[in-house]
Amino acid sequence: MKNFRGIITLTVILLLVLGEVIVIPSKAAGLTAMSIAGTGITSGASATGASLTPTVTFTITNAVAPADTVVIALNGMINSAGAIAQTDVTAGGTCSGSVAMTTVPISTSNPVLTMTGLTCTVGSGTIAVAASKLVSLAAGGNYSIVITTVSDYGAFLYYVGNTNQVKVTATVTPTLSFAIRNTADSAEQATVGGLKTCVLGVLTTAAVGTCSYRLKVSTNAASGYTVSYSSDTRLTNGTYPFTDAVVGGTGTTVAAGTEGYGVILTPGASSSAASVTRNAANFGSVAGASYKITVTGANAVYNVAGTNAPSGTDTTNTALVNHQVAISAATPTGNYTHTITYTVSAVF
């Protein structure tokens, strides 16, 4: 009988102990939608040493009573402008009441607000600190702001400086190339003695002599490029120069039987759809008209306002230069020649 009573007594004690274990409260990580905003605070990366007027927002899932303690660790900040008193802290949203807390001394890095006196119902609550109390730390970092209530807790990051940023860089090497190609852009223009040649042939009064080639420029210069030329002489046999077409304006129509020499320019397009403009002062604006090759100075031919990358055999994004010549019965005999030098200037 004694043993039976002992078993009953031990069972009652165990039940009581187990009962105590079951009712011990535990915290639940129930704070959500945590964030910080206000003057001096930028989403993503706030400046270092910036004057702050922070408001911390958080959603409570378990109510807070005035006797409960709410703790917010404002990591990443320092109260360099003065102590933080309870009158500097204001509750809002679903939180209300007069904050009671110990004053945080001046020059406290990562100040911790330990507060009572708040009533917070379930929902979005806020805790704000008055202006001119806090600045962001001079040392940038990704700081964890920790919030704790009697039943809930949570943390989120407050970013100061650029320690959460990655600067991605890349370099594209400048490119620029120039070639004088045949009319079909299927090969380099023919050469004689190392010089590209444009052969007008044996001239008669019955026909206009012509020869042509393409100017092929490729560049990734964002602001484009200009093609210019210079000429050593007029088209001449050494003593007699040909009658030239006009400069600019409407140009000249070179006709068989009437002495004249000029160039028809077709500037083409650019692969980037950038505008292509013939130089009006030298080549006018009339397609199909011939214009004079000027001897003095460097003379602009055309310019492109952006990149150009002719691909393969390309008769669209290259410029066509067509030389035209006609003689009259009085044009002196001889071998006529001159040399034109082209240059390309790009703006990167």
Give the pLDDT confidence score for residue 10 in this predicted structure.
40
pLDDT of residue 43: 86
Encode burial over 149-159: b for 16+ CB neighbours within 10 A, e otherwise: bebbebebebb
How many helices (H) and strands (E) are present in the chain, helices listed first?
Answer: 2, 21
CATH number for the domain formed by residue range(s) 32-160: 2.60.40
C-alpha distance from residue 90 to each of 58, 85, 97, 116, 266 (Å): 14, 11, 9, 12, 75
Domain parsing of the chain, residue ranges: 32-160, 176-346
pLDDT of residue 14: 36
CA 67 – CA 119 distance, rounded (Å):
9
pLDDT class of 8 with cuts at 50, 70, 90: very low
pLDDT of 20 over the 50 cut: no
Q: Quick one: average pLDDT of 73-77?
A: 98
Residues 271 and 317: beta-carbon distance below 8 Å: yes
pLDDT for 271-320, tens place per residue?
Answer: 999 999 999 999 999 999 999 999 999 999 999 999 999 999 999 999 99
Note the pLDDT of residue 30. Answer: 83
Cα 284 to its chain centre, rounded Å, is 38
pLDDT tens figures, 22-56: 334 445 568 999 999 999 999 888 999 999 999 99
State the Cα angle at 235 between 229 and 241, rounded to 5°. Answer: 130
pLDDT of residue 28: 57
Residue 166, both tokens? 């990655």
Lowest mean pLDDT, pick from 26-30, 52-56, 154-158, 256-260: 26-30
Could you tell me which residues are beta bridge partners of residue 53?
39
pTM summary value: 0.69
pLDDT by residue (tens digit) across 138-150?
999 999 999 999 9
pLDDT at 82 over 70: yes
Q: What is the pLDDT of residues 163-205, one digit of tens each?
A: 999 999 999 999 999 999 999 999 999 999 889 999 999 999 9
Whether 37 and 127 have beta carbons less than 8 Å apart is answered as: no
